[in-house]
Structure 1
């Protein structure tokens, strides 16, 4: 038919074509109106993109764009009028109208307006930078216990009633620390995830000492707003936030507010109009803060009723412990009575009693709780005395490690590896087992998690392998209180003047803003300090460290330093040096005199020269972080050495963790066999980010294997292939448990099929992968695949169509996460197996193709 139409069109004289177009109008009215509606919808989406882009960046539209937006509004009204006329005329005669003049008029107007809409769309295509980054997805918040008790449910419903009402304003949740306010806020957050009630939902933690600027930064980060440079004035950020929120329905959850905050200065509009929902929910320990903030309604969160408190306590103690002796249930009730229904105390003390099956241990705990009934102290200090019982049950090593956690700011997510390295640098952990230096640290973290003195947190980025812990704000206050009570110096933001600190103090916990209030001339006592951690740039203090001769741990990350501190060679007892995220350009030769150094982090600096021979002198070095330092090894004569030289210079060190990122023109990189030979007993973690390398050769003449390597990451933007020469991956990497690929150009990762210990595999933004795994077995019996793989994460793989064929199995897989893989149509499973979670979008799940519908139904309940 198309061919016939083209022949007919060619046969019609040009002068006749306009006449035929007019004659066709009455018969094409439906097609023309539908085409206009579709084009108008596309134009409306483009208009939204332009407005979103400006709102997120806080920009004023150019006059040309403003004029375009105005004209688009006009043409949308006109197109809507045509659609309305068409629908009204259809009401008279069902779906058809026999009024030729009406059909002619509407069809002609629709065709003309369609051309106009298409012209506007063409103008949009010529606008620069209209693409926008969507705001981060709202994460689900942890709520701990799944049990929702009646009193909590009543408060929860009261909050939802206010949020769902037509009234705009602020709702307050108040009550003492540890009573469950944040948990309520998390329940609200999780309730509205995926809801269409709000265009914007943000949870922000205020914490003690919160400022307008801090709230602005968190709001911009959570909404994906462009903040400009860090020195941009608060007023400019106010305008950016206000313009973005002003014409949107928003719900802002503001946790742990300690004082009045001017929301208008932040940029949060709270007008009286009801066109948009403008709701804020705050939590605070004081009802007076609710009054200062002008809350419309509020709820007071009090302790749990006895029955609910006992249920929560039993949950933490564990059923086996409760039933282990007939006296324990009655003793448990006495403890619950002493704790007054406070959830945090019930959780923490309950966790500390897990596994204690001797009634004498329970009686001792009851006696201690009764002794903690102090007269003349406030409720918070009474709580500290009770919570301290969990601290007292720790061994001395774990006590010190717990107190160190208060070094980090309130509500801070502490990276587990960085925390363990801090403990190691302070000499708090045993280093006798050089092959497993991190294991004692993980044991301590697990002990503190089990005691509910730390909370486990996962990264919000699905591809990030790191795990985190966090201190509840009351638990952190407890740690600082203990540190002060045990005569450890505690530098907090309340010390605006120079404190009279004792000499030789072993620990200085400080939060992110503390040291900025201290005068530089007050630091004469620092020459006897053993450890110091600075979280803020204090340039006059850190530019010369020669007086800190007893220092063992020094953290000067993110201090804006352009060079190493002067006098670094004087710190002969220094074991842990963190200079990450600065602007340092060179390493001094004097660094070789710091021979006790075990941990050195230079990640994310601009280092372009590194004296040859310095690294081999640091014979105690166990962790070396060169991640993204723009570093090329330069010889003494100034000539560049081969890329592999960096491995040779490191091969004589007992390095456990190595992060290498540098730029080089080499397209092929071979990891020398001598490096493998020297590091085989020590290396646990290796991250490679070597730009321009397309081919990585592994295995040439290797006589050894990396028997302890547990973590391996490739972040190599040009990497197309990994060549295995004369050695099988499973032989070289028998203990590899975590493997990730980021931003690589590889086309498959079939070499991972037989890794015996691989537990987690992550692929992120590898844009050339079509099929992930393919068997490369020769003749003979087919070997089993992925014997230990538990987690598989695939994100941003735009070309992947298939994961693998049926011959490849995942006998241990428990979780698969798939994000932004639009071409993938099938999952590689023949049965449920050990699967527990399928983390994908529900819409994508429905589009999947299945050979067996029964299997789909069987897996449905695993979709998360």
Structure 2
């Protein structure tokens, strides 16, 4: 019998809408899915080309002190503009795909789908044009810095922002650039020399006041691009520092010592942090509180943090003990910065060693680093700081610990963002002081985060260290082999790593957490098999092409992050590769692949996170296993899963073809998966599952789900929670 195409249309309205689609319009609608896929592929190639050009420009600017050509800068700016539009299209694509009907030949809203399809086609042409213009013979030419005295009329331009000690010049340039309109991403990627020239051209024509807060060493204003103030130009530079020597190095004309708070001011600040309820809880507490405030030395940060620590100490005995500790700190820590011992009281007042370890851990992050709460908790889980919970319970405890540190003023919320925190630089310094000096035997940190290192510290500096952070540097190669059997944590993220010598990991048998993310690594050394204690491995935003078979040796691995490893995803797709290198590991996997093959490799899987996979149609497709298909169909790869999160998977149609039991499942979260119409849940488990169980998702998605029967739908209805 020949192929028969049969369409049943109910109602005149649908038919009328379809007839309204003219031939010209239907072409855009019919080709929408394919065009979106092509756009994503071509845009990714354009970004790769942009990165190559940017590298050439940076080499020319940094090493040869040349200036990028205007045509190159213009091309980079156009790429940035098109990129913004393409990302908006991708963001809106799931909604438009959901409108398609009749096998993609028509739409429930022809006008909207036509406009969107036309927009996709236009951007595809724009991307193709930019790709064709990428082959520049030269990217830069000669550069001359006009360092000469300027004259003319000036106007005030901007005031203060905080400056960190790490990479001061770059940060000052970017802070000033933001205030005077030089804040694009392309400008930020320019060399220090080129940015200095831009700033000089603008500031030399203006009258300005520049305020630098908390500088630790001399700032070379010439390298920043700032004209030195003098009586003729009328500009001013004001700075604060903790070290009087810096005043001389900066050639300050005048300097003033900022005195501590007056007694009354100090007491008022301390009292506001403790609270009236505590101060009035017992007749003896008020006088004891005044003594504690005095022991804080009129230092605002000490008054705030210690005041918070005492807010719930409602017996005189607790206050007397606090006084003893603070008095003893003066003799225990002679010569140290006077604020650290007083701040350490807040650290000592934390409820237990687990919270204290979590706090010290935050000092491994670079100064002023803003971190997602969830990412921080992932690291704490990998380190074993939290109780032996798994999944949601561990995360809940992590959020509880973050709340404790926020209430104690040892972490700060990031203004306007709910899920991110940072650490005040003074608190971070105090934490490093505790880890490296006070509790050296127990902790012993080596931290050079954000120090602009081009080479890793010499191997002999690694000996005996327990935690090392070299994040946010410019390290390209790890050629030395350190001996560090006590090492538990190693942050190498956000560097320029291209090569790790094969024996680099040979004496790191205790290592629990390794972060290699945001590096141009294309492969891992086989010696990674030596990391037999590793629990958390972050390879996100690398250029890995495949996972080495040696990962099978990492039998304690709990979390493997492969987010944004696009080269790996493409390699796996092109070569029909598998992830069976992971048979016995417990992992959280985040990757961009089309489907997960060899599901028996995930029989210890505890958490499954899949996001931003625009090609993935099925999570586990047992039809790919040929002769073992029947066996695979009877296995349950999710038997130990307690948390499942699927988000931004516009082509996902299936998780698993059979209904499965999830005996330990606590949460399933589905977000922006418009084509996923069935979830493989065995209704009997919903009744017998003793664990907390919830399904989260969009109400519209839930209402469109297809069920085996109404009884099954009714069983799961009480467990659904809308995210709307």
Matched with 1:472 is: 424
Structure 2 residue 559 is matched with structure 1 residue 594: no
Structure 2 residue 349 is matched with structure 1 residue 393: yes
Matched with 2:444 is: 489
| Residue aligned with 1:437, SS | helix
CA distance in 1, matches of 2:671, 2:237: 42
Alignment counterpart, residue 215 of structure 2, candidates 231, 249, 257? 257
> Are the counterparts in 2 of residues 698 and 723 from structure 1 also a CA contact under 8 Å?
no
Deviation at 1:442, TM superposition (A): 1.8
> Are the counterparts in 2 of residues 572 and 595 from structure 1 also a CA contact under 8 Å?
yes
Structure 2 residue 338 is matched with structure 1 residue 382: yes
Deviation at 1:452, TM superposition (A): 1.9
The verdict on how the C-alpha distance between 1:249 and 1:752 changes in structure 2, with shifts beyond 3 A counting, is farther
Mapping for residues 642-791 of structure 1, pairs under 5 Å:
643=595, 645=596, 652-664=603-615, 679=638, 682-684=641-643, 686-690=645-649, 693=650, 708-709=666-667, 713-714=671-672, 723=677, 735=694, 750-751=700-701
Deviation per residue, 1:533-560 (Å, 9 max, x gap): 2244465656544403332221222332
Normalised to the residue count of structure 1, the TM-score between the two structures is 0.52
CA distance in 1, matches of 2:235, 2:653: 55
CA distance in 2, matches of 1:224, 1:234: 13
Matched with 2:275 is: 318
CA distance in 2, matches of 1:599, 1:689: 21
Deviation per residue, 1:426-474 (Å, 9 max, x gap): 22222334442212222222222222222222566xxxxx722222222
| Residue aligned with 2:446, SS | coil
Deviation at 1:482, TM superposition (A): 1.3
Normalised to the residue count of structure 2, the TM-score between the two structures is 0.62
> Are the counterparts in 1 of residues 471 and 491 from structure 2 also a CA contact under 8 Å?
no
Deviation at 1:392, TM superposition (A): 1.9
CA distance in 2, matches of 1:167, 1:284: 31
Mapping for residues 52-71 of structure 1, pairs under 5 Å:
none
The verdict on how the C-alpha distance between 1:602 and 1:229 changes in structure 2, with shifts beyond 3 A counting, is farther
Deviation at 1:286, TM superposition (A): 2.9
The verdict on how the C-alpha distance between 1:229 and 1:343 changes in structure 2, with shifts beyond 3 A counting, is closer
CA distance in 1, matches of 2:333, 2:322: 22
Matched with 2:571 is: 609
Deviation at 1:292, TM superposition (A): 3.9
The verdict on how the C-alpha distance between 1:525 and 1:651 changes in structure 2, with shifts beyond 3 A counting, is closer
Structure 2 residue 514 is matched with structure 1 residue 563: no
> Are the counterparts in 1 of residues 511 and 534 from structure 2 also a CA contact under 8 Å?
yes
| Residue aligned with 1:567, SS | helix
> Are the counterparts in 2 of residues 408 and 512 from structure 1 also a CA contact under 8 Å?
no
Matched with 2:586 is: 620
CA distance in 2, matches of 1:167, 1:324: 63
The CA RMSD measured in Å over matched residues stands at: 4.9
> Are the counterparts in 2 of residues 406 and 510 from structure 1 also a CA contact under 8 Å?
no
> Are the counterparts in 1 of residues 445 and 465 from structure 2 also a CA contact under 8 Å?
no
CA distance in 1, matches of 2:528, 2:563: 18
| Residue aligned with 2:490, SS | strand
Alignment counterpart, residue 241 of structure 1, candidates 170, 193, 199? 199
Q: Which runs of 5+ in 1 are unaligned?
A: 1-57, 66-127, 130-165, 170-196, 461-465, 633-642, 741-748, 756-782, 793-864
Tell me the number of residue pairs that the alignment of Structure 1 and Structure 2 aligns: 534
The verdict on how the C-alpha distance between 1:571 and 1:412 changes in structure 2, with shifts beyond 3 A counting, is same
| Residue aligned with 2:526, SS | coil
Alignment counterpart, residue 304 of structure 2, candidates 347, 372, 375? 347
The verdict on how the C-alpha distance between 1:516 and 1:564 changes in structure 2, with shifts beyond 3 A counting, is closer
| Residue aligned with 1:603, SS | coil
The verdict on how the C-alpha distance between 1:345 and 1:528 changes in structure 2, with shifts beyond 3 A counting, is closer
CA distance in 2, matches of 1:583, 1:251: 44
Deviation per residue, 1:231-265 (Å, 9 max, x gap): 85432222233445566787755333112212332
Matched with 1:365 is: 322
| Residue aligned with 1:609, SS | helix
Deviation at 1:328, TM superposition (A): 0.7
Structure 2 residue 539 is matched with structure 1 residue 579: yes
Alignment counterpart, residue 331 of structure 1, candidates 269, 272, 288? 288
The verdict on how the C-alpha distance between 1:788 and 1:337 changes in structure 2, with shifts beyond 3 A counting, is farther
